[in-house]
């Protein structure tokens, strides 16, 4: 019996990185997984990986920052699965690295559109679905940049602080209806996004491992599956008294 057996779980941005690892982990723990991504081929690849491993998954394309895509996503979930028990709002972008005064308004808007507006749109739809079924659990992808500042990343840092605020508010508003909402705050995780951040920050002179491993007290960056473990556990009944939190999964990064 898996941690989330028989439940339906949505993971946005699950064509790659932490989202893909989370979709695979949900399936391994018994959930029917709704894989969603802006990119069709990577989303379908995640779905195939789940099915090859003996799990159940369906792919629905959606750009989380587009209200009509989000509406279609939740209509399709309603039609195909009926209920939604677990949701991981993972889709996010890092944007450009530059000091605050050199950041463009286009970069600021692009990051806020996906990381905050997209998260807000999905959160609204998830809560509407879950309250009809008598409850559910939601995990939002924040970051250690949602807890502390990061020079060069002001729009991203602002967006992840906003994610933590959205999380606390939703937890307070819907806790009595059986909906738990938490955010998790990963440190450096070995994905395309971290490669991009290392590349931009060091002008291509260092890999993400070279730049980020020594910055983590545990001596290395994390793997996507180490984040997925926490997400699926938070969505399970084992985490029944946990809501409104912003939990680091960061190899000790914010303890420094």
Catalytic positions are 156
Query: Applying CB under 6 A, does 12 fall inside the site for ligand NAP?
Result: yes
The single residue among 32, 60, 87, 92 that binds ligand NAP, judged by CB under 6 A, is 92
Kindly state the number of chain residues that form the binding site for ligand NAP, as judged by CB under 6 A.
Answer: 29
Task: Considering the complex, state which of residue 55 and residue 118 has its C-beta at the smaller distance from ligand NAP.
Answer: 118
Q: Which residues pair with 8 in a beta bridge?
A: 32
d(CA 255, CA 244) in angstroms, rounded, equals 20
Smallest distance from the beta carbon of 17 to ligand NAP, in angstroms? Answer: 2
Say if residues 39 and 93 touch (Cβ distance below 8 Å). Answer: no
Q: Which residues pair with 89 in a beta bridge?
A: 140
DSSP letter for each residue of 130-178: HHHTT-EEEEEE--GGGTS--TTBHHHHHHHHHHHHHHHHHHHHHGGGT
DSSP letter for each residue of 214-229: GGSTTSSPBPHHHHHH
Query: Applying CB under 6 A, does 158 fall inside the site for ligand NAP?
Result: no
Token pair 């946005």 is found at 12
Query: Applying CB under 6 A, does 249 fall inside the site for ligand NAP?
Result: no
Residue 6, phi-psi category: left (phi > 0), alpha (psi -120 to 50), beta (remainder): left
Query: Applying CB under 6 A, does 238 fall inside the site for ligand NAP?
Result: no
d(CA 126, CA 72) in angstroms, rounded, equals 13
**Span from 76-84, 91-99, 104-112, 125-133 in contact with ligand NAP (CB under 6 A):** 91-99
The single residue among 136, 186, 248, 251 that binds ligand NAP, judged by CB under 6 A, is 186
**Cα separations (Å) of 170 from 66, 128, 194, 253?**
21, 12, 29, 27
**Span from 120-128, 172-180, 182-190, 238-246 in contact with ligand NAP (CB under 6 A):** 182-190
Q: Which residues pair with 132 in a beta bridge?
A: none
Smallest distance from the beta carbon of 125 to ligand NAP, in angstroms? Answer: 14
Say if residues 28 and 50 touch (Cβ distance below 8 Å). Answer: no
Smallest distance from the beta carbon of 92 to ligand NAP, in angstroms? Answer: 2
Task: Considering the complex, state which of residue 98 and residue 110 has its C-beta at the smaller distance from ligand NAP.
Answer: 110
Query: Applying CB under 6 A, does 136 fall inside the site for ligand NAP?
Result: no
Query: Applying CB under 6 A, does 19 fall inside the site for ligand NAP?
Result: yes
Query: Applying CB under 6 A, does 70 fall inside the site for ligand NAP?
Result: no
Query: Applying CB under 6 A, does 248 fall inside the site for ligand NAP?
Result: no
Query: Applying CB under 6 A, does 17 fall inside the site for ligand NAP?
Result: yes
Query: Applying CB under 6 A, does 188 fall inside the site for ligand NAP?
Result: yes
CA nearest neighbour of 24 among 41, 1, 47: 47
Q: What is the contact surface with ligand NAP in residues (CB under 6 A)?
A: 12-13, 15-19, 37-39, 42, 63-65, 90-93, 114, 118, 141, 143, 186, 188-189, 191-194
């Amino acid at each position: 019996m898996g941690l989330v057996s028989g439940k339906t779980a949505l993971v946005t941005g699950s064509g790659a990185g932490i989202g893909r690892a989370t979709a695979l982990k949900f399936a391994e723990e018994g959930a029917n997984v709704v894989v969603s991504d802006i990119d069709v081929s990577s989303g379908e690849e995640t779905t195939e990986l789940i099915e090859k491993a003996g799990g159940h998954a369906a792919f629905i394309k959606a750009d989380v920052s587009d209200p009509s895509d989000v509406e279609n996503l939740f209509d399709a979930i309603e039609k195909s699965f009926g209920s939604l028990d677990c949701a991981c709002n993972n889709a996010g972008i890092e944007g450009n690295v530059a000091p605050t005064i050199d950041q463009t308004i286009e970069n600021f808007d692009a990051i806020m559109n996906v990381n905050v507006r997209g998260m807000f749109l999905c959160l609204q739809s998830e809560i509407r679905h879950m309250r009809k079924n008598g409850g559910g659990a939601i995990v939002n992808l924040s970051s250690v940049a949602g807890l502390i500042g990061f020079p060069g990343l002001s729009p991203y840092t602002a967006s992840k602080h906003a994610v933590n605020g959205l999380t606390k508010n939703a937890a307070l508003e819907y806790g009595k209806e059986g909906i738990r909402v938490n955010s998790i705050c990963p440190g450096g995780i070995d994905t395309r996004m971290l490669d991009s951040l290392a590349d931009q920050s060091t002008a291509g002179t260092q890999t993400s491992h070279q730049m980020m491993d020594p910055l983590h007290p545990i001596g290395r960056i994390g793997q996507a599956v180490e984040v997925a473990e926490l997400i699926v556990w938070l969505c399970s009944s084992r985490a029944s008294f946990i809501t409104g939190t912003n939990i680091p999964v960061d190899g000790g990064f914010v303890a420094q």
